[in-house]
């Protein structure tokens, strides 16, 4: 069963991934690898935090971390 929204999201994900690779290649020529990696990790952390907060604010939905055991949540946050 094919869902058009799922197919569109998969295609959009691949396009964004390709675009990000080109941007990282270009920025890697001007920025040191350490600074680039730090920036990438900070952006990823901010976006992940915003996503989790957005999911937690949806009505009639439990927070995504409420069903996760505490030891697994700690392992996830350490990585």
Residues 65 and 49 in one domain: yes
Model pLDDT, residue 63: 63
**Looking at the predicted structure, is the pLDDT value of residue 1 above 70?**
no
The domain of 4 spans 1-30
The structural domain count of the chain equals 2
Cβ pair 65, 73 in contact under 8 A: yes
Residues 25 and 40 in one domain: no
Residues 71 and 43 in one domain: yes
Model pLDDT, residue 45: 93
Backbone angles phi, psi at 67, to 5 degrees: -90, -5
Residues 65 and 78 in one domain: yes
Tens digit of pLDDT for each residue in 4-63? 888 999 999 999 999 989 988 898 889 998 998 898 899 999 998 998 888 777 777 666
The structure's pTM equals 0.55
- Of residues 64 and 53, more confidence is placed in 53
CA nearest 77: which of 45, 38, 42?
A: 45
């Amino acid at each position: 069963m094919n869902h058009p929204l799922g197919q569109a999201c998969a295609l959009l994900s691949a396009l964004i991934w390709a675009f990000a690779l080109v941007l990282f290649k270009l920025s890697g020529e001007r920025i040191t690898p350490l600074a680039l990696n730090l920036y990438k990790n900070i952006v990823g952390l901010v976006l992940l935090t915003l996503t989790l907060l957005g999911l937690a604010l949806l009505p009639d939905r439990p927070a995504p971390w409420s069903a996760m055991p505490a030891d697994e949540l700690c392992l996830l946050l350490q990585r």
